[in-house]
């Protein structure tokens, strides 16, 4: 292993460290920088989720009403049949 190999290994290590430093720097910048499009997408999804939650709440109320109607009428019908016997 001559001095050429040592110099090549040293140069390779320096280039590797430089690429890693640059990559980490770009990642930190991407995390810190506000992404306007991503935030807009998140706001749209939040609005859509709120709308869906409202729809689900209304459907649950309607289902509870239907359940009350179904169960109340069956109990009333049973009582009427018992009265007729």
For tokens 């460290």, name the residue. 17
Mapped onto helix, strand or coil, the DSSP state of residue 35 is coil
Closest CA to 47 of 63, 61, 55: 55
Q: Which two tokens stand for residue 11?
A: 């140069």
31 HSE (CA, 13 A, CB side):
6
Residue 76 has a pLDDT of 73
Instruction: Enumerate the domain spans of the chain.
Output: 1-33, 35-85
Q: What is the pLDDT along the chain (85 residues), one digit of tens a residue?
A: 677 888 889 999 999 999 999 999 998 887 887 777 878 888 899 999 999 999 999 999 999 888 877 777 667 777 777 887 7
CA torsion angle for 73, 78, 84, 85 (degrees, to 10)? 170
pTM of the predicted model as reported, rounded to 2 decimal places: 0.46
């Amino acid at each position: 292993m001559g001095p050429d190999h040592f110099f090549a290994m040293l140069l390779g290590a320096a280039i590797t460290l430089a690429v890693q430093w640059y990559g980490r720097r770009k990642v930190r910048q991407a995390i810190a920088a506000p992404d306007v499009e991503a935030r807009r997408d998140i706001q749209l999804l939040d609005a859509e989720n709120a709308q869906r939650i409202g729809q689900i709440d209304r459907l649950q109320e309607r289902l509870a009403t239907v359940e009350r109607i179904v169960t109340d009428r069956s109990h009333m019908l049973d009582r009427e049949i018992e009265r007729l016997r």
